[in-house]
Amino acid sequence: MKAIQEIDLSIVIVSWNCRDYLVKCLESIRLMKDEIVNEIIVVDNNSNDGTISLIKSKYPEVIYIENHTNIGFPAANNQGFNMAMGRYILALNPDTEVSSGAFEIPVKYLDANKSYGCVGIKQLKPNGAINYQGGRNYNTIPNTLSQFLYLDKLFPHSKLLGNRDMTYWDHDSDLDVEVTSGAFMLFSREVYEKLGGLSTLLPMYLEDGEFCYRMNKNGYKIRYLASVYFTHHTNKSSDHANLMKISFMLFESVFQFLRIREGKRNAWIFVWAFFLIFPLRILMLPVICAGQYYKKKEIKFIKLVFEIISSLLWTLVKILNIKYKYSFD
């Protein structure tokens, strides 16, 4: 086995019922033969779509971990991080496709800038538009409520209402950011050894924000690089899951992140504020659907309604202290 210092980059991909997109991801990596790629680790969270069989037959170079239960996204990433041998580790989503320079440029940047612990790159949607989650601010109570009221979509150029995803910034320039997307998060082994892996207190979503928060607290800066990009097909694993479970995990992750960063009191203020804005969210629904129609986007009315109803149910679960298991099972 190679010594750690001989390996530049370990790529860790957690997959769950995402075989076809995982193939696109691995093929995009294979195309970059001139890039710094020494090790690919796929952690499969008990997929039933033949992911492991495909890896064994088509990608012998890939190291894989086969979980027999879905242990969750953060814990599965941590399995891969623990196995990784590289100087740098890349957490990469399976529903992504990387472009030329996506590995080499961030690694060279971190080699040359030792005060930085992590680098993210420009994130594109499949249609080529920028996905603003590639570089963003921490979740706070105001910017989270703004998102759930869709105000960031109605007023994207507002620094107040578009604060979480920094929609007022075009994301076409390099910038120090508070958070880079967990869909492509490249960090040093030093960071991992100092901080450990992703927090399993967050069932799914915002684990990247919590990880970046710990980096910031320990003196590391985070850089967003716009000169290279990756394409993110978004939520191709969670599309197979129960929508209410996914929504509950998102809301719980917001609660846990606010509790970690802002304290228990503010986390509970969010719960009550989220409960109280439920009628406003219902009222905003036709406005959002009209906006989607105007922009010729697919109108996901049923999904939006279900997510709004799920938000009410989640707040009641929290307020009434009802026990709920945050998992895919």
212 phi, psi to nearest 5 deg: -65, -35
3-state secondary structure 201-264: CCCCCCHHHHHHHHHHHCCCEEEEEEEEEEEECCCCCHHHCCHHHHHHHHHHHHHHHHHHHHCH
Q: Measured between alpha carbons, how far is 196 from 192 in angstroms, rounded to an integer?
A: 5
For 217-249, the pLDDT digits (tens) are 999 999 999 999 999 997 655 555 678 889 999
What is the overall mean pLDDT for the chain?
91
Q: Check pLDDT > 80 for residue 322.
A: yes
This model's pTM is above 0.85:
yes
Report the candidate in 51, 58, 228, 257 with the shortest Cα–Cα distance to residue 143: 257
Cα–Cα separations (whole angstroms), residue 187 to 72, 135, 276, 326: 21, 15, 39, 28
On whether the CB atoms of residues 11 and 104 are closer than 8 A, the answer is no
What is the topology classification, in CATH, of domain 4-137+177-238?
Spore Coat Polysaccharide Biosynthesis Protein SpsA; Chain A (3.90.550)
How confident is the model at residue 299, as a pLDDT? 59
- Percentage, residues of the chain above pLDDT 90: 79
For 24-47, the pLDDT digits (tens) are 999 999 988 767 878 999 999 999
Q: Check pLDDT > 50 for residue 3.
A: no
Q: Measured between alpha carbons, how far is 196 from 313 in angstroms, rounded to an integer?
A: 33
48 phi, psi to nearest 5 deg: -115, 20
**Sequence ranges of the domains in the chain:** 4-137+177-238, 239-319
